[in-house]
A and B are shown apart, each in its own frame.
Chain A
Amino acid sequence: MDMKSLYLLIALSPLAGAIIAGLFGWAIGRRAAHVVTIAGVAVSAVLSLKVLYGFLNGGAVFNETVYTWLTVGGMEFSVGFLVDSLTALMLVVVTSVSLMVHIYTIGYMSEDPGYQRFFSYISLFTFSMLMLVMSNNFVQLFFGWEAVGLVSYLLIGFWFKRPTATYANLKAFLVNRVGDFGFLLGIGLVLAHFGGSLNYADVFAALPQVKDQTIQIIPGVDWSLMTVTCILLFVGAMGKSAQFPLHVWLPDSMEGPTPISALIHAATMVTAGIFMVSRMSPMFELSDTALNFVMITGSITALFMGFLGIVQNDIKRVVAYSTLSQLGYMTVALGASAYSVAMFHVMTHAFFKALLFLAAGSVIIGMHHEQDMRKMGGLRKYMPITWITSLLGSLALIGTPFFSGFYSKDSIILAVEHSNLAASGFATFAVLAGVFVTAFYSFRMYFLVFHGKERWMDAAHPASHHGDHADEEPDHDHHHGLGPNDKPHESPWVVTLPLVLLAIPSVIIGYFAVGPLVGGDFFNGVIFTNLAAHPGLAAVMPHAEHAFEMGMHAFVTLPFWLALAGVVTAWVFYMKAPQIPAAIKKTFAPVNTLLENKYYLDEIYFAVFAKGSRALGTFFWKICDMLLIDGLIVNGSAKLVGSFSRVVRRLQTGFIYSYATTMIVGVLALITIWFSQLIFG
């Protein structure tokens, strides 16, 4: 099989599964729907592994146009594949996590009436994500970008009968529009100034000519073209990868089913922004301003989103905020020009965060769709596999030496410490403080869920889990919480198998991958880092070559002790002396309120954007329709359809006057503008 058909097969087999399950799901039944989609993704996953294996042994980069969509005015739109080591890595991450999630879904969604639809969506998502990472041009990148977004909205609103779910899905949509707008403008600038092509290779080839150009967006003010382009592109990444202040949609997206949270909102789609910036590394390397911007955004996200994780009580939201914080880490790494480290963290994070999400989902199944951690506790006896895998995932997340998260996170911290950008001081503080915070909320969750008193007994009630699902239909399978005499039970094997399979890479992959990915030449010629100008990565590389020494060395470094302190604090607070957090909460009530309200960002956005645009709409409606039309009518309040007399009255009182006046004023305006010289002398 030649490479082109191999790559086509990787991309298209999930699509085939999605089409069969989506269009004929009603005919082939539930079992066939999951068999066909899992088969499609499994084919992709196996072939992706083959591709990655090829690149580990020095495979050749593939860059070819597969299909030309249309040519217009000298511009070509085509579907093309660029497969290099970066793509290969993403292929493996996407397909393997997707495969796990597919299997897991069999158990998680077993009672859901939208079973086939769900499988169709997640396969469609996998296809879109593959098209995104395999793209060799900006247009296809943007299409993939929008397509994964679209499926993500569909899936957030999967339980569309919940008003919170439809709200969350609308919110995700609107916030992502802001990012996409920046992204589109960025692509527009690339098209306008970088040689007129949207092919990556052509654009990068044009960089030497344009790197010192300036543009005037506000007349008279020169801005560096590279900086503006990079920042605009990064704004796109901020939307998709949920960076502050465009992160607000991600926590709400937890309204979607848990497999989705694991696949889309933790492992793959949200890392698309990170992937995109890494792909554009030759451009970002040319603008220190843009890198500083990236780094600041990342550090704010890494630290402040971690804080929010501390006050959450919904098990999925804790993991969601932890995802935000980890995405911040990746972004900081990008800012420090350590793109390979960022991609490394993307990979390790994909495994351990998918694991944590799926484990949280398993807990939710075991607790009969109870998501409030305050009503759990002591689950380790009842759900041993979930317990062990969660523990492994949490240890990986907080960066315990030799676990996968350790290698990637420590590399990030090292790179940031050695970065010479202006923002690196703050970033260093943020990532170090973030280590403590991460450890604290991770183990707070772990202790609350798996250890301590079994609290579901006294909390047993059928009420809502976070207060806003009260209006849901009672016949649904979401009868929340356990009855007083129920016991949690371990989930079926289709749920626990993916947990085990994900736990393995969560523990070991860092040890094996850090050498080639960070220390070695895996990304040579693909990711471009100007080591002389940005020494962050250079400081990491010597360590990364020796994984074992790096792990041993960790015990004498600050991050390890910070993480340990976090774990211990969590243990003291939630196992030993639960009165302490309560007291703290009381003492620092304003801080707590601020955190519980997520820094009031939702309220601010709602007040400014949602109300603002609505007000604008109402304003025009009022001006056009009310003031000019109804306003000119005596008693003019009637609806258009009314009794005949009312219509006559309205006709008499001069609708048409105002319309005609508007038209004449329009003509007058045109005359005045075009003959201003004659009229005003």
Chain B
Amino acid sequence: MSFPLIVFYVLSAILLFSAFKVVTAKNPVHAALWLVLAFFTSSGHWLLLQAEFLAIALVLVYVGAVMVLFLFVVMMLDINIEKMRAGFWQHFPLAATVGLIMVAEMVLILASPQAHLAGYEAAAPLAADASNVKVLGLQIYTTYLMPFELAAVLLLLAIVAAIALTQRERKDGKYVDPAMQVEVKAADRLSIVKMAAVRDEPVINETNEPQA
């Protein structure tokens, strides 16, 4: 067994374990940290494939930016993850059974001689000075121009959607408009209504039922 293969299996084991812990951790901060570990190990996989740029991007973007932001949110909001996950363990056996059957079947299928995965050879190693970034850049701006542009549209959409869903005029907002304060007139504040001096008898409604 070659060294890269050993590394692959070790990384994969860690990845699977940390992914499992993300779902099962009791403390949301722990879950987020497990996710960080999962990202790290995935970037290890990229490295094994000689895709250094993607490995670094994964760490920088996901671990550095996304997860840190996520941790902030989790810590600030004080989410009780236990409550949100009530019933999780109750259904775990079913999910585990289905998952295990799935794994077993996939192994049986992909490891069978008909699948012939051994026929796939490892990619030829790249030259020592091969530049990931250059190749990616060339590809993105030529062949993959359209997906690249569309990804930008997707981001724009995400921004619009996020704003549409979160921006709201709060009913209890304390924001005041100085211009309106200046322009206010006495009549806007107070109006005098003349009323006859009549006292209403209290109405007793015997059939009154509480509203459902």
Interface residues of A (CB under 8 A from B): 632-634, 651-654, 657-658, 661, 664-665, 667-668, 671-672, 675, 678-679
Contact = CB atoms under 8 A, between A and B. Distances in A.
A634 B88 CA distance: 11
Contact of B108 (A652, A654, A657, A678): A678
Nearest to B95: A661
B112 interface: yes
Contacts of A632: 87, 91
B112 A678 contact: yes
Nearest to A675: B109
A427 B86 CA distance: 72
Given A672-B105, A678-B109, A634 B95 contact: no
A632 B105 CA distance: 27
A667 B85 CA distance: 25
A654 B91 contact: yes
Given A657-B95, A678-B112, A668 B105 contact: yes
A672 B98 CA distance: 12
B51 to A, nearest CB: 29
A658 B109 CA distance: 26
A664 B102 contact: yes
The main secondary structure of chain A at its interface with chain B is helix
Contacts of B91: 632, 654, 657-658, 661
Given A678-B108, A678-B114, A668 B98 contact: yes
B19 to A, nearest CB: 16
Q: What are the 4 closest A-B residue pairs judged by CB atoms, nearest first?
A: A653-B87, A678-B112, A679-B108, A652-B84
B101 interface: yes
B184 interface: no
Contacts of B204: none
Contact of A652 (B87, B94, B105): B87
Contact of B86 (A652, A671, A672): A652
B202 to A, nearest CB: 32
A517 to B, nearest CB: 72
B94 A661 contact: yes
Interface string B121-133: 0000000000000
Interface size class of B (residues with CB under 8 A): 20 to 34
B189 interface: no
Nearest to B92: A657
Contact of B105 (A654, A665, A675): A675
Contacts of A675: 105, 108-109
Contacts of B102: 664, 667-668, 671
B211 to A, nearest CB: 15
A675 B114 CA distance: 11
Contacts of A652: 83-87
A665 to B, nearest CB: 6
Contacts of B94: 661
A675 B85 CA distance: 35
A653 B85 CA distance: 7
Interface in B63-105: 83-88, 91, 94-95, 98-99, 101-102, 105
Nearest to A660: B95
Contacts of A668: 98, 101-102, 105
Contacts of A653: 86-87
A511 B88 CA distance: 86
Nearest to B102: A668
Given A634-B87, A652-B87, A671 B95 contact: no
Given A671-B105, A672-B105, A675-B109, A661 B84 contact: no
B150 to A, nearest CB: 27
A665 B98 CA distance: 7
B43 to A, nearest CB: 27
A661 B98 contact: yes
Contacts of A664: 98-99, 102
21 contacts: A632-B91, A651-B84, A652-B83, A652-B87, A653-B86, A653-B87, A654-B91, A657-B87, A658-B91, A661-B91, A661-B94, A664-B98, A664-B99, A665-B98, A668-B101, A671-B106, A672-B105, A675-B109, A678-B108, A678-B114, A679-B105
Contacts of B85: 652
A238 to B, nearest CB: 49
Contacts of A657: 87, 91, 95
Contacts of B87: 632-634, 652-654, 657
Given A661-B94, A664-B102, A654 B109 contact: no
A661 B91 CA distance: 10
Contacts of A665: 98
A453 B91 CA distance: 79
B109 A671 contact: yes
B36 to A, nearest CB: 25
A646 to B, nearest CB: 14
A668 B109 CA distance: 12
Given A651-B84, A652-B83, A664-B98, 17 more contacts: A632-B91, A634-B87, A652-B84, A654-B91, A661-B91, A661-B95, A664-B102, A665-B98, A668-B102, A668-B105, A671-B102, A671-B106, A675-B108, A678-B108, A678-B109, A678-B114, A679-B108
A566 to B, nearest CB: 65
A665 B100 CA distance: 12
A634 B86 contact: yes
B1 to A, nearest CB: 26
B106 to A, nearest CB: 8
Nearest to A664: B98
A632 B94 CA distance: 12
Interface in B105-145: 105-106, 108-109, 112, 114-115
A653 B98 CA distance: 19
A667 B99 CA distance: 11
A668 B84 CA distance: 28
Nearest to A653: B87
Contacts of B109: 671, 675, 678-679
B212 to A, nearest CB: 13
A657 B114 CA distance: 34
Contacts of A658: 91
A85 to B, nearest CB: 69
Contacts of B88: 654
A653 B203 CA distance: 46
